[in-house]
Amino acid sequence: MLRGGLFAAGIGVAQAADSIGADAPEWMKTPGRSFSGYGMPAKSQDKVQRTFTAGPGRPGTGVSRTPVHLLEGTITPNGLHFERHHNGIPDIDPARHELVIHGMVNRPLAFSVEALMRYPMETHVRFIECPGNSGGYIGPQPTQASAAAINGLISCSEWTGVRLSTLLQEAGVAPGAHWVIAEGDDAAAMSRSVPLEKCLDDAVIALYQNGEAIRPEQGFPMRLLLPGFEGNINVKWLRRLKVTAEPVNARDETSHYTELMPDGRARQFMFVQSVKSMILRPSFGMTMKGPGFYEVSGLAWSGAGRISKVEVSADGGRTWALAALSEPVLSKALTRFRLPWQWDGRPSVLMSRATDETGEVQPTRAAWLAQYAPGQFYHFNGIQSWGVEADGTVKNVYV
Amino acid sequence: MFTFRAVLFLCLAAALQAQTPALGRALTPEEVRKLDITVAPNGAGLPPGSGSVSAGGAIFAQKCQGCHGAQGAGKPQDQLTGGVGSLASGKAVKTPVSYWPSATTIFDYVRRAMPYTAPQSLTNDEVYAVTAYLLSIDGVVPKDAVLDAKTLPAVKMPNKDGFVRWWPAPPR
């Protein structure tokens, strides 16, 4: 009946009004574009970019940061993985690149990329975090900048490659060996001392990142992947592993990534990135649209294993609620946590506090600072706080 | 047919467990010698050659000073000298001379990574000389010092004993 009436009303009006296209968006009324060899994000996502500042005269030295607050889930898209380079990204010809294992071994060996591709491979989701990440939290006043600007030196990928222990067994590690000196194929020949114990445990020579060949920024054709260890030691563009009895005190394990204690002595070889978390929604730069329902969402991780729980406070740490962890919760990988929040419109302070499977809990910022001499900023994993003001703005605050 | 395949697969699995691919190319000692640029704190890996403070000063002025300032005082890039004795002051100035525990690290790092725009271009003698010059600014070595594979690892750095190993566990 109703339908008949509609038809009747339509008669006499232009024929076009009869087509359903009148109210359809333009993209439904013309054929879409064709295929592409390598797909790109939607045009409206052009602000989702790494941010970076290269030093004057040193275009390839410094960092770029993952826009953590603009992403969801746990996997970092390959083009947005944070970067830390010491003299630029080398343009390596994979046909001329070899991985050499020598030193305290019975058989010094060189592996071509082609040869490594024939080895049994394994796949794991692992985070990599620069030990300088979140270093701004040592400042006397909270940095008013995005979560990416403060915490963007962390990314998480599904890495595939060859177990390093397989290659070391083929070379035959000699008695008395305890360390492996890793070296990159870049213009800094970046070098670090790695405990042999780690190399024989879960270390991988990574060849693939999220299903495609590892990106040049991440070490193409191969990088050392030491799950849970500080980013710098996951040597990119890996070309050489020298098995030794002692560490080498490389520049990047003395000058960098060591922390002075108040007595003037420095902690060295703090490899494991301790348990940590950050709230990303809401975070600095976002504006709450009035009281009502919001989902608090963030990331937690630990270099020691799985995240066991994340607690969230909306009242500056007086009370805490357990957040839900998105499955699967993987060892040494980013874990997404979420908690529904009914904001009453009053000033609030959001905090997250993670605990890992070893029982380690994030310290307060003050407790973290108390361990070190002034100015030390590597390996910061203190609890972070966002202040939500009555007008809906979100600021970085210290509690 | 399927049974046969299953048996074949198991045989292969057993073979893989028993051995690894062994696709590495054996390296000759000469190949290893050319590749191995690591210099250890005890001097292992240091090449023949030598360099004096005065020779190092001339090289530094020409190839390093533009980034690291006169006498390595810093700006626009890292400060390389000074800061000795500052580490427990609450206003620590960490430089290769004040902070690094091993003199060999300066040699190792300069030889592999410096100058920034032309890494691996210095001769071994030049690297010894620049290392000697940097160490002379704060008097870690005398102004007439000549460093080589024997004397460099013997240099006593001001912060030689200042590092505490946090691996495999913090000291108790």
Q: Please state, in angstroms and rounded to a whole number, the distance separating the CA atoms of residues A362 and A276.
A: 6
Mean pLDDT of A267-295: 98
Average pLDDT rounded to a whole number, residues A170-194: 98
Q: Report pLDDT digits (tens) over A335-376.
A: 999 999 999 999 999 999 999 999 999 999 999 999 999 999
Phi, psi angles (nearest 5°) of residue B40: -90, 160
Q: What percent of chain A has pLDDT over 70?
A: 96
CA A368 to chain centre: 21
Whether the bond into A328 is cis, omega within 30 of 0: yes
pLDDT for A4 = 35
pLDDT tens-digit profile of A101-123?
999 999 999 999 999 999 999 99
Contact A366, A283 (CB under 8 A): no
Please state, in angstroms and rounded to a whole number, the distance separating the CA atoms of residues B77 and B57.
18
Inform me whether the pLDDT recorded for B13 exceeds 60: no
Q: B76 is written with which tokens?
A: 């626009």
d(Cα A291, Cα A54) in Å, to the nearest integer? 41
> Domain extents for chain A?
94-267, 276-396
The pLDDT tens digits of the residues spanning B130-151 come to 999 999 999 999 999 999 999 9
Mutation for A interface: B80, B116, B120, most A CBs within 10 A: B116
At residue B12, does pLDDT exceed 60? no
> In this complex, do B27 and A110 lie within 8 Å of one another by their Cβ atoms?
yes
Angle subtended at Cα A179 by Cα A177 and Cα A180, rounded to the nearest 5 degrees:
110
Predicted local distance difference test score (pLDDT) of residue A3: 38
Q: Does residue A285 register a pLDDT over 70?
A: yes
What is the residue type of A154?
I
CA distance A7 to A1: 10
Dist CA A278 CA A149 (whole Å): 13
**Number of neighbouring beta carbons within 10 Å of residue A15:** 7
Q: Is A94-267 in CATH node 3.90.420.10?
A: yes
Both structure tokens of A159: 């890495």
Rg, C-alpha atoms of chain A: 25
Q: Is the pLDDT of residue A332 over 90?
A: yes
A337 membership: H or E segment, kind and range? strand A335-343
Question: What is the C-alpha separation between A138 and A157, in angstroms, rounded?
Answer: 28
Cα distance between residue A265 and residue A257, in whole Å: 14
Distance, in angstroms, between A375 CA and closest chain B CA?
A: 8
Q: What is the mean pLDDT of residues A69-90?
A: 98
The three-state DSSP-derived secondary structure of A321-333 is EECEECCCCCCCC
Quick one: pLDDT band at residue B172, thresholds 50, 70, 90?
A: confident
- What ipTM describes this predicted complex? 0.92
What does the pLDDT read at residue A2? 37
pLDDT, tens digit (0-9, with 9 covering 90-100), for A384-398: 999 999 999 999 999
What is the structure's pLDDT at A13? 45
pLDDT tens-digit profile of B82-92? 999 999 999 99
Q: How high is the pLDDT of residue A393?
A: 98
Which of A14-28, A84-98, A202-216 shows the lowest per-residue confidence on average (mean pLDDT)?
A: A14-28
Q: A279 to chain B nearest CA, in Å?
A: 29
Interface probe with B: pick from A251, A252, A257, A261, most Cβ of B within 10 Å: A251
Q: Which of residues 35-64 of A touch B (CB under 8 A)?
A: 55-58, 61
Res A12: pLDDT: 44
- The DSSP code for A257 is S
The pLDDT value recorded for residue B3 is 53
Is 60 exceeded by the pLDDT of residue B14?
A: no
Pairing of strands A335-343, A292-301: antiparallel
Report CA A317 to chain centroid distance, whole Å: 26
Q: Give B8's pLDDT tier (boundaries 50, 70, 90).
A: low
A378 touches chain B (CB under 8 A): no
* Chain A CA closest to residue B165: A268
Residues 6+ apart with CB under 8 A from B104: A249, B39, B40, B41, B42, B43, B46, B152, B153
Distance from CA of A247 to the nearest CA of B (A): 8
Query: Is any Cβ of chain B less than 8 angstroms from the Cβ of A258?
Result: yes
Rounded to a whole number of angstroms, the distance from the CA of A81 to the nearest CA of chain B is 25
Average pLDDT over residues A192-206: 98
Interface membership of A165 toward B (CB under 8 Å): no
**Hey, is A351 helix, strand or coil?**
strand
Half-sphere exposure of A261 toward its Cβ, with a 13 Å CA cutoff? 13
Q: Would the pLDDT of A5 be above 50?
A: no
Q: Do A262 and B99 touch (CB under 8 A)?
A: no
Angstrom distance (rounded) from CA B146 to CA B54: 9
| CA-CA-CA-CA torsion sign (A189, A193, A199, A201) | negative
pLDDT value of residue A116: 98
**Average confidence (pLDDT) over A204-210:** 98
Which of B31, B100, B119 is facing A254, going by the closest CB pair?
B100
CB contact under 8 Å between A170 and B162, yes or no, is: no
Instruction: Write out chain A residues lying below 8 Å of B164, CB-based.
Output: 261, 265-268
Residue B9 is predicted with a pLDDT of 53
* Chain mean pLDDT for chain A: 95
CA distance A384 to A363: 10
Residue A84 is encoded by which pair of tokens?
């830390």
Interface A–B counts its CB contacts (< 8 A) at 165
pLDDT of residue A11: 46
Neighbours of B119 (CB within 10 A): 17
The H-or-E segment that residue A98 falls in is strand A98-103
The reply to whether A276-396 shares the fold of A94-267 is no
Measured CA to CA in angstroms, residue B130 lies from A169, B107, B108, B145 at distances of 40, 8, 12, 12
Chain B residue numbers touching A373 (CB-CB < 8 A): 87-88, 90, 92
Contact B122, B110 (CB under 8 A): yes
Is A268 in CB contact (< 8 Å) with chain B? yes
CATH class of A276-396: mainly beta
What is the model's pLDDT at position B4? 54
Domains of chain B and any CATH numbers? 49-160 (1.10.760.10)
pLDDT of residue B5: 55
| Residue A303: closest CA among A277, A280, A281, A274 | A274
Cis peptide before B76 (omega within 30 of 0): yes
Residue A251 contacts residue A193 (beta carbons within 8 Å):
no
Question: A275-314 burial, b if ≥16 CB within 10 A, otherwise e?
Answer: bbbbbbbbbbbbebeeeeebebbbbbbbbbbbbbbbbbbb
Chain B within 8 Å of A251 (Cβ-Cβ)?
A: yes
Average pLDDT over residues A257-267: 97
